[in-house]
Amino acid sequence: MTTIGFIGLGIMGAPMSVHLVKAGFTVNGFNRTAAKAAPLVEAGGRAAGSIADAVADADVVAVMVPDSPDVRAVLAGEGGVFENAKPGALIIDFSSIRPDVTKELAEQAHVNGLRMLDAPVSGGEAGARNAALSIMVGGAAEDFEAARPVFDAVGKTVVHVGPSGSGQTVKAANQLIVASNIQALAEAVVFLRAYGVDLEAALEVLGGGLAGSAVLTQKKGNMLENTFQPGFRIELHHKDLGIVTSAAREAGVVLPAGALVAQLMASALAVGDGGLDHSALLRGVERLSGTNT
């Protein structure tokens, strides 16, 4: 039975770790806020007292933390994975971080006798809870195949997209598309409300045509009810759009819509909406239209 050390048991990591236990893996989880390990423990996993404790006997080390500095600290920091994982262990980084940081850490992992895949996910909290995540994986093909049972326990669409860093590049493109769709949906909602249309009925018929999307299906409830309990926080999507715009600039690629939606996401963060779900971009459209309540 494969033993997994799982670092990061937040909104996404906790349900993912639970699915891994249910799939038959031995899971030792660590989170800086110890209480967040409760779902894992309830499912039959173990709460580790430190990163070293979580990964010491692990065949696979899974990481799900917010940003590039967090991944760097978990892997390369004092008391981190590189110092404590056993030789040959496979690191799967489910976090969404900069592709260049991923490549750098993968090289360090190799020097330390470890293997590493970048495997950012899409699908939000709902996808994590339903084991229906889309997972875009960068790294060696043989490591991808070795990790298949882990991916299959937490994801529905799992694709190897290329060498190290490729997963993060594809995730950046994903976040560009998602943010643009949410913004377009938010603008449509404000437009429809201005004309007194039955909004629920309108979104139902739009969802059945070419305008339909996973974003509309998953986020229309938030916009109908004006409730924005985070499935994926604005502050994290702001970080991801920073990755997109920076990488595009480095590649000499022009992303006009991406630049605009990045600014709108930054505005939402600046006015205090960073802790809300990214569907709260609706509030920004309402503010611009003078209809925000």
Cα(224)–Cα(203) distance, rounded to whole angstroms?
9
Which are the contacts of 214, defined by CB distance < 8 A and separation ≥ 6?
none
| Distance in Å from the first CA to the final CA of the chain | 54
Q: Which residue ranges of the chain lie beneath pLDDT 50?
A: none
**Angstrom distances, CA of residue 141 to CA of 6, 138, 186:** 22, 8, 40
Which are the contacts of 291, defined by CB distance < 8 A and separation ≥ 6?
190, 193, 194
Per DSSP, the residues of 231-292 read: SSBHHHHHHHHHHHHHHHHHHT---HHHHHHHHHHHHHIIIIITTSBGGGHHHHHHHHHT--
Write out the catalytic residue numbers. Answer: 171
pLDDT value for 28: 98
Q: Tokens 């694709």 identify what position?
A: 159
Cα(283)–Cα(190) distance, rounded to whole angstroms?
9
pLDDT value for 293: 59
pLDDT value for 231: 86
Q: Exposed e or buried b for every residue in 125-141, given b needs 16+ CB within 10 A?
A: bebbbebebbbbbbbbe
Tokens in use for 284? 């920004």
Cα(272)–Cα(203) distance, rounded to whole angstroms?
28
pLDDT, tens only, 213-247: 999 999 999 999 999 999 899 999 999 999 999 99
Query: What are the chain's domains?
Result: 3-162 (3.40.50.720), 169-289 (1.10.1040.10)
| Cβ count within 10 A of residue 145 | 10
Cα(293)–Cα(291) distance, rounded to whole angstroms?
6
pLDDT, tens only, 26-71: 999 999 999 999 999 999 999 999 999 999 999 999 999 999 999 9
Output phi, psi for 33, to 5 deg: -90, 105
